[in-house]
Amino acid sequence: MTDSILDALDPADAQRVLAGGNALTLPQGWSPIAAGTPADKAYLITEGEVSVRKGGVEIATLGPGAVVGEAAIVNRTLRSATVVALTPLTVVHFTSERLEELADQVPAFGAALRAAAAGRVAGR
């Protein structure tokens, strides 16, 4: 599990980020991110747990406060992993454009996204 990306933000900025996307519920077993696909969206998990898989092998389990899909957006690459819901999920969905806007408008969020993406590329 990971720490919440929102921990790096003051409460007003955290609320701004949460309000900047669309709240969705996703069923267990759903795969919102697939390896090899374009970086067109990201999700902030607010409830539930996902498995991050490369080549069918689980490399991480993430839960509330984690963002998935951000690394490909930040690094302007195709997806490097597949994400599968281990439980029903409540998430905040961001288009790539909206995520980039929020990263510019809320500097602490932008820094947290870049740090998360760098950690994922480094395998942390």
Q: Is the pTM for the entire model greater than 0.85?
A: yes
Q: d(Cα 33, Cα 5) in Å, to the nearest integer?
A: 19
pLDDT in tens, 69-112: 998 998 899 999 999 999 999 999 999 999 999 999 999 999 99
When the candidates are 2.130.10.10, 3.40.630.10, 2.60.120.10, 3.10.105.10, the CATH number that belongs to 5-119 is 2.60.120.10
pLDDT in tens, 37-64: 999 999 999 999 999 999 999 999 999 9
**Domain extents for the chain?**
5-119
pLDDT at 115: 87
pLDDT at 75: 87
